[in-house]
Amino acid sequence: MPRVTPLSDIRNIGIIAHVDAGKTTTTERILYYTGRKHTIIDIHDTKDLKTSTTTDYLEQEQKRGITIQSAAVSAFWRDKKINLIDTPGHVDFTIEVNRSLRVLDGAVVVFDGVAGVEPQSETNWRLADNYGVPRICYVNKMDRSGSNFLRCVDMIKKRLGARPLPIQIPIGSEDNFKGMVDLVEMKALVWESDDKDAEWQVLDVTPDLADKLGITVPSDRALLADVPKYRTELVDTCLEQDDAAMEAYLNEGTVPSPDLLRRALRKGTLNSAFTPVLCGSSYKNKGVQQVLDAVVDLLPAPTDVASIKTVDADGEPIGERLCSDDEPFSALAFKVINDAYGALTFIRVYSGVLTKGASVQNSTRGKREKIGRMVEMFAKEANPVEEARAGDIIALVSLTDTETGDTLCDAANPVVLERMRFPDPVISVSVKSKNKAEQEKFGSALGKMVRADPSLHLETDRETGQTILRGMGELHLEVTLDRMRTEFGVEGIMGEPQVAYRETFTKKLTEQYIHKKQTGGSGQFAEVWIVFEPLERSAGFEFVDETVGGSVPREFVPSVEKGLKIQKEDGVLAHYPTVDFRATLIDGSYHDVDSNALTFEIAAKACFREAIRKAGPILLEPVMKVETVTPGDYLGDVIGDINRRRGSILDQLERGTNIAVVAHVPLSEMFGYIGHLRGMTSGRASYTMEFSHYEPVPRNVAEEVIAEKSKAAASA
């Protein structure tokens, strides 16, 4: 089958933003205006579960009015195929943004015109920076009271450190938001009503525009009066991207045509020289078609993006693959979900062609996968396809061994694509089946949830034997259990949320351990010398082998590493995992008959236990970056309360008419914060938080944590 849509006509893009900025609302309009659906559903109409937006189809999403999992849809606009992923804004589901950005070529970053840059706008922006994803900004909700386009542009500059370039200027604001001036065409686009089918009029930008349109608010009038200034900024910035046009402009005064400007805007967007900014109100159906135009005109096609990097076993870059049908097949699995069709593995094809029935290599795990059914997903609807080509995003049905982050490729031309990085979940709860008889079914459902979501971890508490689920936040854990009820028909009980403490140590030391046992005939023997040294925060665990002359035989070195890996999970203070250290095996000895893999594993474990006790072990706790948005009247109370929670204030920012207090606060002090905050501010303040870093726990607090833990173990 030949290619249907040329690669240059594809746009793989994500919509990213803070919670509630209007991503799903915008996606609904995009599907409507591109003719993919004939109605628009609004978020607040889905609570009774009778209807849902296309992308927020999960029961949990409908009920809560938030997006929980990313959903892919596609549509055509001006003959370009737009594959679009609507992502969640809530920090607990940040994994969904992370993995989407990993495989997308461009992004639309949506802002709430009132709140401007919010904590998750910032986090998601940084994620997009990490993955090098070009983006455009869309300042939504211009109809809301308190909206302010310029303030938002200014925040994009200051808080995101970006170079925003307005390509539109809003006409009017709040109730009187009428449309925008298109600075490229220098035309005013004015909507006659809020109706979804309302047309816009195209007017010349004349000095009496404000009067003609009944714009009376002084700041709105001032903005329109400044249109020539913004047009000049746009033209000058575009000329930086085009030497010939710059010369023509300087020498002959040739004003660049709209087409030339668009080409320059595209170039600058793709190389991240600046970020174009648009405005609108998705809810009032103004500006969405213009966002679509910008996606087509300014965001990259798969061929515009630098080729994908390939890596070696240690994740170090070793080469690259061009995005082309003519290259050997390679794809990245970025999402695994369980649904009515079984396990669905979402892949982004980077090169080559994949056909049904093919046998491909999972190069990450060294396993073969047979390709059965392939589908293109439209939110929850699966449409069979026969093949997938470079640039496509599709899902494979019933793969057995492929997990999120794995590479699938042509077995004759194996490559491993750059892996994905996942956040470390810091909140844990004990979970168990409500119904004792359903234990096994519950366990298998839990396993499936964890497989689908790399920001969930499952472990068994070594002392209590309880099943512990670790996640990004209370909402994340709650939603996971609730989804097990709706998707697998099992009900669970959750314990109180707990902090995922870690242990580490403060001194470098060398430890020798001899494991020796004589039982009847055969004996056991292994000797190891290991240097333990602390590393910087979040360095994790490193193992180095520096033995020489076979003092520890080659084949037993992995057993030493294995022993350490197992033992480090059970710290010496309160049985939390030990992190941020290096263990270097420097020497050892063996016995021809009595040494084997097991004896070296045992020796390594004991060596670790002995050493860490002497190495000044300390407890680490997760510290969160908390942003509390409060009316000024309560500022003193909010700050006092944060201080009492062992918090340290980092910043205070203007957030519309409110103030945002940014602070670092230990997670253990944040349980129950929302209730307290509401009480303190008559329900007028809100907050968001995300994991920032691990820090040593103050001694008195550490003693309490350790005592608590041993009490819990004793009662279990």
C-beta neighbour count of 35 within 10 angstroms: 10
At closest approach, how far in Å is the CB of 241 from ligand GTP? 31
141 is an interface residue for ligand GTP by CB under 6 A: yes
Question: From the list 94, 98, 100, 140, which residue makes contact with ligand GTP (rule: CB under 6 A)?
Answer: 140
Q: Is 179 exposed, middle or buried (0-12, 13-18, 19+ CB in 10 A)?
A: buried
How many positions of this chain bind Mg ion (CB under 5 A)? 3
Residue numbers 5-44 binding ligand GTP by CB under 6 A: 17, 19-25, 42-44
CA–CA gap between residue 517 and residue 431 (Å, rounded): 40
50 binds, among Mg ion, ligand GTP, none (CB under 5 to 8 A by kind): none
Is 67 a binding residue for Mg ion by CB under 5 A? The answer is: yes
Provide, rounded to whole angstroms, the least separation between the CB of residue 66 and ligand GTP.
3
Number of DSSP helices (H) and strands (E) in the chain, helices first: 18, 37
Instruction: Determine the interface stretch with ligand GTP among 77-85, 137-145, 424-432, 440-448 (rule: CB under 6 A).
Output: 137-145
Counting residues that bind ligand GTP (by CB under 6 A) gives 24
* Nearest-approach distance from CB 431 to ligand GTP, in angstroms: 25
- CB of 130 vs ligand GTP, minimal distance in Å: 20
CA distance 109 to 127: 12
End-to-end CA gap in the chain: 63
Span 276-305, contacts to ligand GTP by CB under 6 A:
281-284
CA dihedral in degrees (438, 440, 442, 448; nearest 10)?
-150
Between 60 and 596, whose beta carbon lies closer to Mg ion?
60
CB of 57 to Mg ion, least distance (A): 11
Cα angle value 330/331/336 (rounded, 5°): 155
Reference 78, options 27, 48, 33, 47; nearest CA is 33
**101 interacts with ligand GTP by CB under 6 A:** no
Distance of alpha carbon 525 from alpha carbon 589, whole angstroms? 9
- Contact by Cβ (8 Å): 428, 470: yes
Q: Shortest Cβ distance from residue 26 to ligand GTP (Å)?
A: 7
Are 407 and 416 within 8 A, CB to CB? yes
Q: Which is nearer to ligand GTP, 174 or 610 (CB)?
A: 174
Residue whose structure tokens are 């944040």: 670
Q: Is 135 in the site for ligand GTP (CB under 6 A)?
A: no
| Residue 88 near ligand GTP by CB under 6 A | yes
Q: What token pair was written down for 29? A: 């309009």
> CA dist 362 to 103, 404, 408, 417, Å?
17, 12, 5, 11
Q: Does 155 bind ligand GTP (CB under 6 A)?
A: no
Q: Which is nearer to ligand GTP, 284 or 348 (CB)?
A: 284
- Toward ligand GTP, which CB reaches closer, 120 or 351? 120
Whether residue 349 contacts residue 329, with contact meaning beta carbons closer than 8 Å, is answered with yes
27 belongs to the binding site for Mg ion (CB under 5 A) = no
**Contacted entry of ligand GTP, Mg ion, none for residue 259, CB cut-off 5 to 8 Å set by kind:** none
Question: Please, are residues 655 and 611 in contact by the beta-carbon 8 Å criterion?
Answer: no
Q: In terms of CB distance, is 92 or 406 closer to ligand GTP?
A: 92
C-alpha separations of 166 from 22, 125, 291, 367 in Å: 20, 18, 13, 49
Q: How far is the CB of 692 from ligand GTP (least distance, A)?
A: 21
Interface residue with ligand GTP, options 80, 102, 135, 144 (CB under 6 A): 144
CB of 43 to Mg ion, least distance (A): 7
**Helix locations, 131-226, DSSP H:** 149-160, 209-212, 218-225
Contact residues for ligand GTP (CB under 6 A)?
17, 19-25, 42-44, 66-67, 88-90, 140-141, 143-144, 281-284
